[in-house]
Chains A and B, each alone.
Chain A
Amino acid sequence: MNELEKEIQDTFKGISIKRHSPKRVYIEIDKEGAHELARFLYEEKGCRLVTATGTDTRKGYEILYHFSMDKTGIIYSVRTVVPKDNPKIMTLASFLPATNWIEREIWELLGIEFEGHPNLKRLLTAEDFPEAYYPLRRGE
Chain B
Amino acid sequence: MAQQIVLGQYVPGSSFLHGLDPRTKLISAILLMILTLSSMSVVSLSVLALAVLSLMILSRLKIGLILRTIRPIILLLVFAFLFNLFTGKGEIIFSYSFIVIREDGLIRAIKILVRLVLLVLSTSILITLTTTPILIADAIENLLGPLKRLRFPVHEISMMMSIALRFIPTLLDEMQKIMKAQSSRGADYDTGNALKRARGFVSILVPLFISSFRRADDLATAMEARCYRGGKNRTRLKVMKYSRHDLLFAVMMILTTLTVYALPYAFPGL
Q: Do A and B bind each other?
A: no
